[in-house]
Each structure stands twice: as structure tokens, then as C-alpha cells.
Structure 1
Amino acid sequence: MASPMPEVPDYTSRPYDATTTATQLTEKYASEIKDKTVLVVGASLTSIGGEFALRIAKAQPKLIILAGRSTQKLQQAAAAISTANNAVTSTKILQIDLLSLSSVREAAAELLSWDHVPHIDVVMLNAGIMATEYALSADGFESQFATNHLGPFLFVNLIMAKVLAAPAPRVVPVSSNGHRLSPIRWADYNFSNGETYNKWRAYGQSKTANILFARSLAAKFGTSHHLQAYSLCPGLVGETQLGAHFADISVEIQDMIVLDRELGNIEANLFASNAFQPKTLDVGASTLVTAAFSPDFKDGNGGFVHDNQLEDLANTWYVKVWARDDFEAERLWKLSEKLVGQEFGY
């Protein structure tokens, strides 16, 4: 006899409003945003990173640095911010391809050369790919792990001097509930050159890495430099291009549900019953605003934000055990240093 799946949790008992918008939270945190220098990696207008930049511009940050692979898309985002805010908010564009470690190094060097940008208050790491077919980066790493983790890991560490020069810096890797699909595959992070590849497991591994990266940053710099780091899940956002490469997204979702059932995850029921309803960009970007600017999370540095609430890691079904472990976080840090070919000495 088959074991019954867990029941869908009662979302109405959660202390948040999942319909809260980035527009509303920009107003709430306006004093925290004003005069800040904010770096957004992954800032096209069809992404939650671009939406985040567009919304927070209303609160008059000093500078928004728009970083991404396509300069054309970054220019479009910069133009939209200028139009929406009557050119009050300054923007600057930085080209970076997170899939290439050489591109990451070039972008970091360029940013470090900007003497007129003495520090960076917030680094929003939004760029990423999801459930792509098997491919290796030019550096020889599985593409989702390379783009979603190794590129951001190297970039943040290379620009750390400007980050730590801020009075109270914050680094925010955008993760996902998809981390449930895999812990770090320590002995086979490259999926045996494709032989053991599952696109959703690979996505899960990369999203677990985002959470562990935030934990490491908080542990290494929280006390010494007042740095805060939070990972987050923005929820299922229906207006992004993250799944644009899927020929049939319903088939891909079914493949994910099959894996969830194999793993015994409650999300199999949630997706099958349509409990996860798509959000608009404005709603999806709200958790980015909270994680980047809320003054209320300091006691939970290194934690995970979901629907604008900091998860209680001692009492949550949402964040899996392998993403909460400080030993795993340090182990990933050491592995990442090895893979990018550079130790950072802290």
C-alpha cells in the first residue's frame, strides 16, 4: 500500500501577505533605500531583478548599477528607470557573463576601477538559469552550478573591498524553493559529464548553493564588518523569461513533480494542486526589497526570506536541512575556492 503524501499546509495561518508588492515595500523602506548604492546582477526588465531596480528607484538611491550579460537589455532597463523617475536616479551599466569566470574577473576589475563608486551598499544577485539541458561552461563546470553559484561567488569576493567599505553592506543571493530538489553533490557536482544529469536536480544543487553562500558571508563578515546576507525565494513569478527555453512548460513541471514524489517532498502535492499561483513581477520582486532593506532581520543574519518573512530555521518545512548546515556552508566555500582557482584568505 502506497504511503500517503503529506497534506498541503494551511497558508492562511502564515504571518504574511503573499500579495504584497515591491511598490508597497519601497514606500515602507524608503528611508533605508535613499542615497544607497545598489548593484543588481541580472537586471533586464523581464526579470524580478529589473523590476526590483525599477521600483526602488522611486526611493532615490544614489546609484543603481545594472549588471548582466546583454548590454542592450541593461540599456533598456536604465532608460525605463530614467523615464519613470525623471532622471533623478543615476544608473550605470556593467557587462558580465556569470557563465564565464574570465568575464566575471573582467567585470570585477572594471567595477573596482570606478573611483567615483567608493562603496556598494547592496549586492542583489538575481541572474540565473533554470532547468537547462546539460552543458559545460568554458571552465568545465555544469552550466547551472557555474551560472547560479560559481560566477556570483567569484564576483562578490573579487569586489569585496567595495562591499566592506559600506557602513552596513548587504548581499542577497536569489535562491528558490527549488533547493529542495538536491543538496550539494560533493562527489559528482558535474553529473559525471552528463551521464547522471537531471536538469531539476542540477537546478536544486545550484539553489542550495545560493543559500549556503549567504550563510557563509554572514558568518565570515557579520561581526567584523556588519555585513548582512540573506538568501530568498521570490515565489513562482509568471512574467519572467526564466522558463522561456522550455518547449512545453507543463511537461517540465510534470518532470519536477515526479522528482518531488521520488524525494518525498510535499511540493509534489502543492504543484499538482496548483497551490503555487504565479505572481506578477511587482509581487515577485517584493521579497527582494525586503531582503535588501528590511532593518528587522539582524538577529537572523544568514537566513532565508520567503514572502517577506524571515523563515524560522528551527521550525520550518520550507528550508531543507542541507541548506541550513554551517559545516556544509564552509565545505562549499572551500570547494568553490578550489573550482574558481583562488583563495580569499578569510
Structure 2
Amino acid sequence: MITGANTGVGFETAKLLAEHGATVILACRNADKAAAAADRITASAPDSTVRTLQLDLASLASVRGAAEQLRADHPRLDLLINNAGGVRPRHAVTEDGFESTFATNHLGPFAFTGLVLDRLLTVPGSRVVTVSSIGHRRGTVDFEDLHFTRGYRYTHAYFQSKLANLMFTYELHRRLASAGVPTVAVAAHPGNARTEFGREMPLPVRVMMRPQLRMLTWWLMQSPQVAALAAVRAAVDPGVRGGEYYGPPGRAQFTGHPARVQSSARSHDTAAQRRLWQESERLTGVTYTVGEPAPVTPS
């Protein structure tokens, strides 16, 4: 299952997996766009099996409803890719009272993963892959104001949520490992992908995303087809281990085929990871039941 799979990197991830024989579920906010994306995939891979699931990660009611539907339809899940993400150029609050970017990029995936995790726990080789961003390096998690009530900058909101994705992955990895289950948690990032992601962003960002400029920005931006390879490698490479992070290599990590990469020192702060986990359980009402985190040495 891939969230946000109707366009961009998520679509290319789903398409590649379907073309190689996976039964793929496209979990998307817009049901019509999900159906259209499924048709596009089956047109290019006629023997593939592609299904859809309506899921709005900014709504806990939708998250719970989608989880119930998935559990009713599928007794097992081999792979969950938390790909969907976004950023709001202006401050917005969800129906649950959360800042929209943090809700969509972290709280929604945290809650959904927890609600369907038992469908992965008995499957050998199963994985939870969460897509972060190179922007996490500029992120901090402000536990005193997670929802930016004191002032909003969309870049700070996005970077915080992408740092949270990695902290979630590393804490989930420790919990899964301590429970001795076959499921592992892995993270990935696509580099700088030329997609519709920046469609609500200021004009300079939208201009950089335009396919017409690819001859000028090839060193800075890459196609969604190449960008999707990081999540796919994290999902299927037999050499991948829990708690690892994959993305384009190199100092800037903007473009290129995926390799194992390093994340920021902040992302490895184990005390902050646990605090974020506890706060996420409190905010979403979703409590994980898979073991306890393994003992760690504070960073």
C-alpha cells in the first residue's frame, strides 16, 4: 500500500511495484484521482492488480475509516509506504485542531501505521517505509508549539514534519526489533523531484518545478521516475535493514540513484524520538501495542 499514490513520486512508486507483480493499493484523498491513477497503471501493466482506498491523512476520522476498510479487505500486508505529504503556504488547522502540514505528514501516517500494523507483524520480510526529505536537516521539533500557534513559516512547518518522519522511523524500528517481529521500519527520501508537490508554493518554486526547464535544472531536480527509486529500494532490496535511510547520494543529495545515506544528528536524538512518540499517541489517540522500545543511550 502506498499513500498519496495518484501523482508524482507516489504514483511512480506504485507503478513500478505493480509492473513487477505486486498487488498495489493506492491510498489517496481524492477517490476519482485514485481511480484514474489505477487505470493508468493497469493500462501500462495489464496483468497488474491495482486497488484504491480513500484516505485523507489530515483527518483522524478518515484515517480510522480507511484503516478499518483495509483491515476488513486484507488479512495481511507486506508493505506500507508512507509517501503522501504536503505543505500549506499559509497556516491552516485541521478538523482535529492540528496544524495541517504536521497532521498530513506526521500525525496521519503515525496513526494509520499504528492502526494497521498488526497486518504486517506476522509477514516475513514486511516493511514500513516512510518518506522523509533532505529538508529534515533544517528541521527542529518545537514541542512547546508543534502547531505553530505563535507564528507560521511554511518552510519551518515542512522541515519539522520531515524530521518527525525520521524520528518516527527510528523509534518504530527499535520497538519492532525489541518485539522480535519480522517487520522492519525504513526511511527514504526522493531528493529534489520535479512533481506537482510545489503547485501551491510561491512562484519561484513553481517555476523550478516546470518540466520545460529540465534542461536547465537537471543538476538540481530529477524526474519522479528516478526519485521514486529510493522508496522502492527501501521497500524491496533484500540487503536493507531496519532503521536505515535511503536516498540520492552525494553531499547535497539532490539527484541520483539511491544509496544508503545519513540523516541529521537531530533525527537520532533518542530522547526526542520518544517524546515525539508519546505526544503523537496522545494527540491521535492511537497507542502502539508492539513491544516496548529497546534500551538506548541518550544522544
TM-score normalised by structure 1 residue count: 0.75
Post-superposition CA distance 1:32-60 (Å, at most 9, x none): xxxxxxx011111x310111111122211
Quote the residue 1:73 is aligned against. Answer: 33
**Residue 21 of structure 1: aligned partner:** none
Structure 1 equivalent of residue 2 of structure 2: 40
Equivalent residue number for residue 92 of structure 1: 51
Instruction: Give the aligned partner of residue 53 of structure 1.
Output: 14
Specify the alignment match of 1:226 in structure 2.
182
Moved more, 128-137 or 153-162: 128-137
Contact 1:98-1:104 at 8 Å conserved across structures: yes
Correspondence for 1:309 among 239, 242, 259? 259
Q: What is the Cα deviation at residue 122 of structure 1? A: 0.8
State the alpha-carbon separation in 2 of the partners of residues 90 and 339 from structure 1. Answer: 36
Question: For 1:101-123, what per-residue CA distance to the aligned partner results, in whole angstroms no more than 9, with x for missing partners?
Answer: 01100000111111xx2211110
**What is the CA deviation profile of residues 260-288 of structure 1, one whole-angstrom value per residue up to 9, with x for unaligned ones?**
xxxxxxxxxxxxxx795110111111111
Q: Which has the higher contact order (CA 8 A, sep 6+)?
A: 1
Distance 2:184 2:286 in 1: 23
The equivalent residue for 1:241 is 196
Residues 1:330 and 1:252: Cα distance change in structure 2 (over 3 Å): farther
2:18–2:50: 8 Å Cα contact kept in structure 1?
no
Larger radius of gyration: 1
How many residues are treated as equivalent by the alignment?
273
Instruction: Spell out, residue by residue over 1:194-251, the C-alpha distance to the aligned partner (whole angstroms, 9 max, x if none).
Output: x32111011011000100111112111135112221112101111x111101241349
Q: Which residue of 1 aligns with 2:214?
A: none
Q: CA offset at residue 132 of structure 1?
A: 2.6
For residue 11 of structure 2, what is the amino acid of its counterpart? G
Residue 282 in structure 1 maps to residue 242 in structure 2: no
Q: Tell me what 2:145 maps to.
A: 188
- What is the letter of the counterpart of residue 339 of structure 1? L
1:68 Cα deviation from its structure 2 partner? 0.6
Conserved 8 A contact 2:125-2:183: yes
Distance in 2 between the 1:144 and 1:175 partners?
Answer: 13
- Secondary structure of 2:196's match? coil
* Partner in structure 2 of residue 166 of structure 1: 123
Query: Match for 1:102 among 61, 66, 69?
Result: 61
Structure 1 distance, partners of 2:167, 2:89, is: 22
Instruction: Kindly indicate whether the alpha-carbon contact (under 8 Å) linking 1:168 and 1:225 is maintained by their aligned counterparts in 2.
Output: no
CA distance in 1, matches of 2:56, 2:95: 11
* Distance in structure 2 (CA, Å) of the matches to 1:158 and 1:250: 35
Secondary structure of 1:328 counterpart: helix
Query: Counterparts of 1:171 and 1:201 in 2: how far apart (Å)?
Result: 26
C-alpha change, 1:247 and 1:328, in structure 2 (3 Å) is: closer
Q: Does 1:140 align with 2:81?
A: no
Q: Name the structure 2 match of 1:213.
A: 168
Q: TM-score, normalised by structure 2?
A: 0.86
The answer (yes or no) to whether the contact 2:88–2:100 under 8 Å persists in 1 is no
State the Cα RMSD in Å: 1.9
Rounded to whole Å, the distance in 2 between the matches of 1:320 and 1:275 is: 26
For 1:333, the equivalent position in structure 2 comes to 277
- Pairwise CA distance, 1:181: 2.3
In the alignment, is the contact (CA less than 8 A) between 1:132 and 1:144 conserved in 2? no
Q: Quick one: which amino acid aligns to residue 302 of structure 1?
A: G
4+ residue stretches of structure 1 with deviation over 3 A?
250-253
Asked if structure 2 preserves the Cα contact closer than 8 Å seen for 1:181 and 1:203, the reply is no
Contact 2:198-2:206 at 8 Å conserved across structures: no
Quote how far apart the aligned CAs of 1:252 are. 10
Determine if contact 1:303/1:310 at 8 Å carries over to the other structure.
yes
